[in-house]
Amino acid sequence: MREVNLNHYNNHDPPVCDPKCHYCQIRTFKGPHWSRICIINEIDNDVLPENFTFIPESEYGEGITLPDESFFSGCECSSNRQCKYEKCHCLQDMTILEKTGRHGEAYTYSLDSATYILKDAYLESRLPIYECHQACKCDENCPNRVVGRGRELPLKIFKTADGRGWGVRCDYSIKKGQFVDKYVGEVITSEETEIRRKASDIAQKKDVYLFELDKFKGDADRDPSLANTVFVDGEFRSGPTRFINHSCDPNLRIFARVGDHSLKRFHDLAFFAIKDIPAGTELTFDYVDGVDEEKLAIESKDKKKQKQMTKCLCKSKKCRGYLW
Ligand SMILES: C[S@@+](CC[C@H](N)C(=O)[O-])C[C@H]1O[C@@H](n2cnc3c(N)ncnc32)[C@H](O)[C@@H]1O
């Protein structure tokens, strides 16, 4: 397998060869040809972990039941224009629309030279983004289906030169507010998550790949179907964003994105640029992102704790010194 992968790194278009081959896996991803994923290693002879498989969308594990499609309900907008300028049903829960709306433009994104940009009020918030979806009357070109349409940027998984393993960059510049890609993986129950944490040699290492889909946990009193949160595990089955490294001064952030409201519990994790990113810059996000920042600050000053902690190599001026 190692030889097969190495052959692909040096030869970008060989015939499809083996289901385990990473190049062949990403070649089957749908999407525009300009959004292809590439894997390069200019540092050593390493290839991506053999036990890793690229998947285009999240996969639902045992114990996870998705609502039946008969429960899906979308907007009745007769045109994409209506989704943008009039009261689209999909946008009813967008709580800061009033502040962001200009000239009757109600929706979440603005257009900047043909690129959809998440409006500043959302970029600065932690609020979920609601989009039109498959059960809506509008079509795939609706301006309110940015995450729904999928990745439109080519991503390059590359070997870092400073001991952080693989990383991700884009050879095109990315605008502040531009959608980059989703984080996908195996969607699993909290019970299965605990089993996987225990099975992992280092529990904290496992946590790096686990995302809790908990954006609507607090709404469970009103809607009991939101009570049990689920997790996305990207360690062994995921997309290119699983290789994005941490920075204490990141250029991306994850936002919850909801399509059909009956799927709130399974909301998407969507990466958006939080600053303009020049072409070729490594893409990063903050693994801590405010959650355990205080705990980390205390522990990183403790000499004993430091020995068990992982040093952060992000080299930013704002570096906290440790990942965890
Ligand atoms: C989600 S993975 C990212 C992809 C990873 N570099 C790889 O090769 O699979 C997280 C791991 O990457 C490494 N890493 C990410 N950001 C880092 C940073 N700022 N400093 C040191 N190591 C980092 C750590 O080993 C961490 O456990």
The DSSP secondary structure of 247-303, one letter per residue, reads: -SS-SEEEEEEESSGGGGGG-EEEEEESS-B-TTPEEEE-SSTTSSHHHHHHHTT-H
The DSSP secondary structure of 124-165, one letter per residue, reads: TS-PPEE---TTSSS-TT-TT-HHHH---S-EEEEE-SSSS-
- In tens, the pLDDT along 3-20 reads 666 666 555 566 667 778
Q: Quick one: pLDDT at residue 12? A: 53
Spatial CA neighbour of 293 closest among 318, 266, 317: 318
Average of per-residue pLDDT values in the chain: 85
Ligand 1 centre to CA of 3 (Å) is: 25
Ranges of each domain in the chain = 2-65+150-287, 69-147
* pLDDT (mean) for 170-199: 95
* pLDDT (mean) for 260-264: 88
* Cβ atoms of 203 and 156 closer than 8 Å: no
Alpha carbon nearest to ligand 1 atom 15, residue: 245
Residue 314 has pLDDT above 90, yes or no: yes
Dihedrals phi, psi of 25, to nearest 5 degrees: -60, -45
Chain-centroid distance of CA 270 in Å reads: 4
- In tens, the pLDDT along 30-52 reads 877 778 899 999 999 999 999 99
* Cβ atoms of 319 and 248 closer than 8 Å: yes
Q: How many helices (H) and strands (E) does the chain have?
A: 10, 17
Q: Quick one: pLDDT at residue 21? A: 86
Task: Indicate whether residue 4 lines ligand 1 (CB < 6 A).
Answer: no
| Burial of residue 83, with CB atoms counted within 10 A of its CB: 0-12 exposed, 13-18 middle, 19 or more buried | buried
234 bridge partner residues: none
Task: Indicate whether residue 314 lines ligand 1 (CB < 6 A).
Answer: yes
CA angle 234, 216, 206 (to 5 degrees): 25
Kindly indicate whether the ipTM for this predicted assembly is greater than 0.90, answering yes or no. yes
CA angle 280, 112, 259 (to 5 degrees): 90
Distances (CA, A) of 189 to 13, 20, 263: 38, 26, 15
Task: Indicate whether residue 205 lines ligand 1 (CB < 6 A).
Answer: yes
232 bridge partner residues: 187, 211
- Out of 237, 249, 323, mutate this one to test ligand 1's pocket (max ligand atoms within 8 Å of CB): namely 323
312 CA: nearest ligand 1 atom = 20
Q: Which CATH class is domain 2-65+150-287?
A: mainly beta
168 bridge partner residues: 157, 283
- In tens, the pLDDT along 49-98 reads 999 999 999 999 888 988 888 888 899 988 888 887 777 888 877 766 55
Q: Alpha-carbon distance 237 to 57, whole Å?
A: 10
Contacts of 173 (CB under 8 A, 6+ apart): 276, 277, 278, 279
* Cβ atoms of 179 and 53 closer than 8 Å: no
Ligand 1 centre to CA of 146 (Å) is: 28
Q: Quick one: pLDDT at residue 160? A: 97
Task: Indicate whether residue 312 lines ligand 1 (CB < 6 A).
Answer: yes
Q: Quick one: pLDDT at residue 103? A: 46
Q: Quick one: pLDDT at residue 111? A: 86
